[in-house]
Chains A and B, each alone.
Chain A
Amino acid sequence: MFAEAIEDILRDQCTPAVVRAIEAGGSPAPLWEAIAGAGFLDLLLGEEEGGAGLPLPELYTVVSHFGRYAVPLPVVQSIAARALVAREAQLPDGSITLAPALRREPDGALRCPLVPYGAIAQYVLAADDGDLLLLRCESAQRNGTGILHSQLATLMWRDDRGAERIAGDSSALAPFAAALHAALLAGAMSKVFEMTLQYCNERSQFGKTLGKFQAVQHQLSVMAELVAATGIAAEASFQTTDRTPRLLSAAMAKARASEAAISVANTAHALHGAIGITEEYDLQLFTRRLHEWRVAHGSESYWNRVVGEQVLAEHGTLAEFVRG
């Protein structure tokens, strides 16, 4: 129900033109209002807390839609932030993104490197040695990456005076961010796959459509396998009655999705030919995100280590381990 409602809003209000405009510095307010105003930020809060009481497993489809529409705002992070902080804690109304890391420099400065949506978010929530810190992006020095249209930015504050300590579960931040990005990747990959399939059905060379060539068919088949694997791995990380995703399933989801992202992006571009590399064609909106989200909060190189350390630390079999 919520997933369909959000998709209706995104189909109308988050067109590629809107995505491009916001990425180019246009006002995000109308899109933010359309989503936040409809009450979507409080999806996970209980009804007694004024929320929708959405069980975590149902959040998966909602998040994947944000990937499918390349939403250029940290909406899913803002939804997650409300579940990460303690019930009595108050969060501001503005957009909140999640920090992959927070470093305290010797001179007292704070630094959050490569924050997804760091270029546009109003606040960032970070785990700081067992606590949650809410920082205002307005007071930060925002350093973009120089990547065209990217919303990734490193944020720096001279000191922690403006940082607000918030009660909540700081250890749940990284797993939640990992699960969110796995679901975003799943959504973006399904879109990239559809665009590629459609292109191969329309574009003709040698007197027939690309999709009639066996070599092309097999590439699309492998792409379908990777999109299916990513989707189910991401969805699995939302399967808990807890308030936030669990570490291991989130680690597996992010690792599987990140590994698939590179291959899906590359095959999509290979089959689209030169048109896919252009700014004006929509494919770049999604493949750029596949790379950014692969990196966000740790790639497969990081998350597979998290899983592997756990496997080696235990005594049971791997077959038992993967059943959870």
Chain B
Amino acid sequence: MSQLLSSFRYAALPAAAEAFRVDVREFLRTAYTPASPQQRARSWMGFDAAFSKKLAQRGWVGVTLPKAYGGAELDAFCRFVLVEELLAAGAPVGAHWIADRQSGPLINKFGTDAQRKFYLPKICAAEVFFCIGMSEPNAGSDLASVGTRATRVDDGWRLNGRKLWTTGAQHCRYMIALVRSSGEAGDRQKGLSQFVVDLALPGVAVRAITDLAGDAHFNEVFFDDVRLADEALIGNEGDGWMQVNAELAFERSGPERIYSSIVLLEHWIEVLRRGPHANAHVETIGRFATHLATLRNMSIAVTARLVRGESPLVEAALVKDIGTEFEQSIPAVIEAAIAADPQAAVDPDLLATVIYLCQVAPIFSLRGGTREILRGMIARGLGLR
């Protein structure tokens, strides 16, 4: 059997992670008042610094980071449980999301001790939030063609260029940006580096972009002769591509790639339980349950590899591709179901939530790598490229 497929063996969450779940649920019961379904459906697009602070006070921002830097030093299984519970509740986790998931672990893995000491405690306290500087106007799927450039100067670097589709940049203090630090565009993956950019520095401008649902989570970020200190470089100069790939294994493998439509699905089930039409949708509900249970087991299998210290980039791409297809199918199916009978009344929250998700669902298979990119990675994993 191919190496890739043999990775997908059943793994149960360990007892410690399940015990941790009890604490998380208790925290959510006391610290979080559920908003309307259409608000909760925003989930990790929902930005609420106060909620992130509460979570940090409980010790659960930077959950996998070392205790020495203020982290909880829990394993990836516990993080899986935490994230699963937060997403299922529709908690507004967007503020600390990126730092907890990837910026913190990236700095921990590739940063200097001074960088770890400086950034990680602030991340764990939810004092500073991070965003990801990957996409640019001319570098979307073709990430290696980033044109933002850091030029060596006497006492550090000078940054010029711009980033696009940067989620949360208007609220974040820092961006970890992938930029060209040497060579030319033709060098592709060579000569790229990652820098922590303080978005409060002179020369940085952030412009919010309103999306089709009226939310502004995307941004365009401009760098005009921004002076960066030497310490802004994360890891080795020229290692940016390798580091960004390690980061993407974290970014793509989590439960957020299967739970994006869970709030809608739960609300639909609630409405069906109350009303007379449940029978018509039994098979559909069963199918969603079957798919969700399976995807969850696939995601746990990938998490088990993270726990073993591996970087399951291709496995994560595989789960993300099939997971986002599931997430997208939920609003599509429910949109049809609520209008299956024009005479029947439609729950207003259900309508608002399903239309919101139908509008934004295309992004599920764009953010973090498009279908085409992911399928190309799987093909490479199968030895076809």
Contacts and interface: CB of A to CB of B under 8 A. Distances in A.
Nearest to B317: A221
A224 B5 contact: yes
Interface in B111-150: none
A308 B301 CA distance: 25
B375 A217 contact: yes
A247 to B, nearest CB: 12
A308 B285 contact: yes
A308 B9 CA distance: 26
Contacts of A193: 2, 5
A318 B9 contact: no
Contacts of B375: 217-218, 221-222
Contact of A233 (B2, B281, B284, B293): B293
Given A229-B322, A308-B287, A218 B372 contact: yes
A256 B2 contact: no
A231 B292 CA distance: 15
A211 interface: yes
B322 A305 contact: no
A96 B274 CA distance: 46
A278 interface: no
Q: Is the interface of B mostly helix, strand, loop or mixed?
A: helix
Contacts of A255: 286-287, 290
B384 A211 contact: yes
Given A224-B2, A239-B10, A312-B282, A317 B382 contact: no
B385 interface: yes
B378 A221 contact: yes
B72 interface: no
Contacts of B372: 218
A28 B150 CA distance: 72
A300 interface: yes
A227 interface: yes
Contacts of A304: 282-284, 286-287, 290
B379 A252 contact: no
Interface in B306-352: 318, 321-322
Interface in B26-79: none
A305 B283 contact: yes
Contacts of B84: 319
A224 B284 CA distance: 24
Q: In which size bucket is the chain B interface?
A: 35 or more
A311 B378 contact: no
B97 to A, nearest CB: 19
A305 B282 contact: yes
A232 interface: yes
Interface string A293-324: 00000001101111111111001011101111
B272 interface: yes
Nearest to A191: B1
A214 B376 contact: yes
Interface stretch (B191-199, B204-212, B261-269): B261-269
B296 interface: yes
Interface stretch (A74-82, A100-108, A123-131, A194-202): A194-202
A151 interface: no
Contact of A256 (B282, B291, B296): B291
A252 B292 CA distance: 10
B289 interface: yes
B288 interface: yes
A225 B321 contact: yes
B5 A307 contact: no
Given A233-B294, A319-B266, A307 B286 contact: yes
Contact of A305 (B262, B266, B286): B286
B281 to A, nearest CB: 7
Smallest CB-CB A-B distances: 4 pairs: A308-B286, A304-B286, A307-B286, A217-B379
27 contacts: A60-B10, A194-B2, A217-B379, A217-B384, A218-B379, A221-B321, A221-B378, A221-B382, A222-B375, A225-B318, A228-B8, A228-B322, A229-B8, A232-B8, A236-B293, A255-B287, A256-B291, A307-B286, A307-B287, A311-B269, A312-B272, A312-B282, A318-B289, A319-B88, A322-B292, A322-B293, A323-B296
Interface of A: 57, 60, 190, 193-194, 197, 200-201, 211-212, 214, 217-218, 220-222, 224-229, 231-233, 235-236, 239, 249, 251-252, 255-256, 259, 300-301, 303-312, 315, 317-319, 321-324
Given A233-B293, A252-B290, 10 more contacts: A218-B372, A221-B374, A256-B291, A308-B285, A310-B286, A312-B282, A318-B262, A322-B296, A323-B296, A324-B293
